[in-house]
Structure 1
Amino acid sequence: MAGILAWFWNERFWLPHNVTWADLKNTEEATFPQAEDLYLAFPLAFCIFMVRLIFERFVAKPCAIALNIQANGPQIAQPNAILEKVFTAITKHPDEKRLEGLSKQLDWDVRSIQHWFRQRRNQEKPSTLKRFCESMWRFSFYLYVFTYGVRFLKKTPWLWNTRHCWYNYPYQPLTPDLHYYYILELSFYWSLMFSQFTDIKRKVRVGMLIGTFGYSLLFFFFFFFFLPMRLFSPDSHIWTTPSKPSLLASIPVLMLCIFVCTQGLVLDCRRSLPE
């Protein structure tokens, strides 16, 4: 394990020349991203999940009731052990041959069996109230972090001039606002991984789980900010003066941000598709 960690955190890959991890330890004058900071994301993810349960119960549900969104689910299918076994163990969409066999076995007409399977499939669909509560939670969280991010960006010089992204790299201190933003986002996506098994069932649950993990991995790299800088820097030396042009840096960084945002939109749109 020690050899794998040493290979992964190879200073020749992550850092410019003449810079070591020891140079990026926290000091009294400046704070830098540390791997230990990410440990906070796991307990915070559990806290966010609990906040979500409270929010959906005491905020989203009353809002849904005020909008006359009913909690009534679809009509429950008539209990039948034989059809239930076929539905759960064999197929949810029986073909004509199987329908005829079940019709003879149960002495039901084919139309009644088709109606039972249709009701049974609809029975697994979540109610409109559950969808509303889940969607309201996601909307509220995204609105909060978006507003917080915009307020933070307005105060940063590197939003208006991308040259500041490279000044004194990699000795760029981590501000409390930025630290809070990334840990909160990372914790949120970890909480989504926990809730995958209790959320509304989707057609692409495995894909959503992989996508959420990949999104968390992106926040891990962006938190350290070493990988984007290392890949997109015009050279591997520290930029300490504004004499170098920032065009080469701004274009790939902008493309990477667009890619991340697009992946997030696709991820959330696919989450809205029930099975």
Structure 2
Amino acid sequence: MRIDLDLSLGHTKKNSNWELLYSIYGAFVILIFRNVSQKYIFTKIGFRLGLRQIGTKKAPHDTTLEKAYSLSKKWKLDQVRGLAKQLDVSEEEIESWLKLRSAQDRPSVLTKFCESSWRCCYYGSAWTGAVLIVWDKPWFWDLDQCWSVPSCSLFLP
């Protein structure tokens, strides 16, 4: 089965469908660059700024509590009382387990810093690239030229 995508709009030569794979290759390159830069660049910058990858205390594994936690992350007082009766422990122990378990899911400050640094670099480079592409276009500086050029001529080679 062959899918024929005619992306030429009738004015240019017909492109090969294999050219669509360039975007997939580009996505893989960006993913690899993201992982490498987060691991080797942004983490080291975060360490130099004094951020630490602090491990939180792990909540003791309890299948009943884990099942209830997977259904709802926040529990009402009735649920806490019911689980305390079911497991034969105090309500304070259930609440402390819930605090430990929810803290276990939260990312550390260093992880948040690395993700924010990546977003800053990615969006900053995308914006810079876009400005560099349209910098020499006449309609970038004079908006009246956006309406003076017919749209059909934009697709001509």
Same fold (TM over 0.5): yes
Q: Name structure 1 gaps, 5 residues minimum.
A: 10-19, 28-33, 176-275
Quick one: which of 11, 25, 46 aligns to 2:28?
46
With structure 2 as the length reference, what TM-score do the two structures score? 0.79
CA distance in 1, matches of 2:127, 2:78: 54
More divergent stretch after superposition (135-144 vs 35-44): 35-44
Aligned length: 152
* Paired amino acid for 2:45: C
Look up the match of 2:87. Answer: 106
Query: Greater relative contact order (Cα 8 A, min sep 6): structure 1 or 2?
Result: 2
Contact kept? 2:59, 2:101, Cα under 8 Å:
yes
User: Could you tell me the percent identity over the aligned residues?
Assistant: 26
The alpha-carbon deviation at position 173 of structure 1 amounts to 6.1
- 2:56 and 2:136 map into 1 onto residues whose CA distance is 51
Counterpart of 2:63 in structure 1 is: 81
Q: Work out whether residues 138 and 145 of structure 2, in 8 Å CA contact, stay in contact via their aligned partners in 1.
A: yes
1:116 aligns with 2:104: no
> 1:153·1:159 contact (CA, 8 Å) conserved in 2?
yes
Q: Which amino acid aligns with 2:107?
A: P
1:25 alignment partner AA = T
> How far apart are residue 127 of structure 1 and its match?
1.2
| Cα RMSD for the two superposed structures | 3.0
> Which residue of structure 1 lines up, in the alignment, with residue 138 of structure 2?
157
CA apart distance, 1:94: 2.6
Q: Tell me the TM-score normalised to structure 1 length.
A: 0.48
Taking a change above 3 Å as real, the CA distance of residues 95 and 159 of structure 1, as seen in their structure-2 partners, is same
Structure 2 gap ranges (5+): none
C-alpha spacing 1:163/1:115, structure 2 compared with 1 (3 Å): same
